[in-house]
Amino acid sequence: MTAGSTTTSSETGQDGIRIQLTPKEAAQTAALAERLSSTASGAVDHPDWIAAARTTSCALPVRLLEAIRSYRNDPGTDGLLAIGRLPVTHGALPPTPTVAQSAETAATVPAAISMLVGLQLGEIVAYRDEKRGALVQNVVPVPALETSQSNGGSVALQFHTENAFHPHRPDHIGLLCLRPAREGVGTYIASIRRALPLLADKDVAVLRESRFTTCAPPSFSAADHSCPHPVLSGHLDDPDIRVDFHATSALDDEGAAALDRLGAALDSVRCELALQPGEMVFLDNRLVVHGRGAFTPRYDGSDRWLHRVFVHLDNRRNREWRIDAGSVLI
């Protein structure tokens, strides 16, 4: 794909919205992010800074605004928005953090970019019991979490809807690559739009019933779990999916067998996103499950580093859950 084009499919075979910024658009975006870096209070979680970022986001390059709007209307078969060549200056980055609960609270250029793009898609939210409710979170490998099914782990991370246990899961999740993995390990995605035709009607019927429960992921400090819920819901031919293959259990054997077959169907349509520095993807968390391959961290500052943000599309629907009408949900 040439710089500057916006497409709905690509040579990777994925069907989503893809845009590569031109050098001029990247410079325009860098100027906005740099301005926000020196805007009081310089903290991405502060309501005044968020308000400034929301206003500033309206001045992003118009082609980027069009791509975001188009993705919001329909994220394609793969439920994906991929934005390339954002101005993340790879060489000037500090070492990759290695601590648990890592988040970016300062309005650095990459953190400001994550907020700017996310705030055009919707409202950026976080959860009080995960990474202390920080809005821009670091996805980095953490010593002692190697085998954990969380983004601090480095074993293969099973397919999941983000925060599948929560009644107000993110509508979209954004991942901005600051530093790539040495081994080229990728984020895996699989869309229910691709997997549905592979499922038997009987399994779909079982998956549409409230025969499943889901626990909170290990990244949450509070052990919580959902009420019984369906895995598939909404339109018969274009359903939403809610599942975490590590944390969702069926209440009976028939449900467990249907869940296994859903997992196999999703694995068979899996595609890999090998994120490059300056690449940000948004995944529609209602349509797409995501996971990650295994890799071997060094913990020497050179490991893979992503920023992550969560987006809700409707600030009223989650109002009861938002503390002091802010961005953090209980």
Shortest Å distance, C-beta 150 to ligand AKG: 8
| Residue with Cβ nearer ligand AKG (157 or 262) | 157
Residues 161-190 contacting ligand AKG, CB under 6 A: 162, 187
| Residue with Cβ nearer ligand AKG (109 or 157) | 157
Strand partners, 127: 329
Strand partners, 82: 18, 281
Considering the rule CB under 6 A, would residue 242 count as an interface residue with ligand AKG? no
| Number of residues near ligand AKG (by CB under 6 A) | 8
Which tokens belong to 130?
């995960």
Instruction: With CA atoms as reference, report the closest residue to 219 among 136, 307, 148.
Output: 148
Q: Map residues 120-139 to x or -, x wherever contact with ligand AKG holds by CB under 6 A.
A: -------------------x
Shortest Å distance, C-beta 65 to ligand AKG: 25
| Residue with Cβ nearer ligand AKG (20 or 138) | 138
| Residue with Cβ nearer ligand AKG (139 or 243) | 139
| Residue with Cβ nearer ligand AKG (209 or 272) | 272
Contact 129, 324 (CB under 8 A): no
Considering the rule CB under 6 A, would residue 292 count as an interface residue with ligand AKG? yes
Residue 307 interacts, among ligand AKG, Fe ion, none and using kind-specific CB cut-offs from 5 to 8 Å, with none
> CA 318, 162, 321: angle at the middle one, nearest 5?
20
Instruction: With CA atoms as reference, report the closest residue to 290 among 166, 178, 153, 190.
Output: 190
Packing angle, helices 47-57 and 23-37, rounded to 10? 160
Provide the strand spans (E) within the chain: 6-7, 17-20, 80-84, 123-127, 137-139, 157-160, 172-179, 187-191, 212-214, 232-233, 240-241, 248-250, 271-273, 280-284, 288-292, 305-312, 328-329
Q: Which residues of the chain form contacts with Fe ion (CB under 5 A)?
A: 162
Shortest Å distance, C-beta 139 to ligand AKG: 4
Considering the rule CB under 6 A, would residue 290 count as an interface residue with ligand AKG? yes
Considering the rule CB under 6 A, would residue 285 count as an interface residue with ligand AKG? no
Count of other CB atoms within 10 angstroms of residue 93:
16
Considering the rule CB under 6 A, would residue 157 count as an interface residue with ligand AKG? yes
| CA gap 278, 19 in Å, rounded | 12
Residues that bind ligand AKG (CB under 6 A): 139, 151, 157, 162, 187, 290, 292, 308
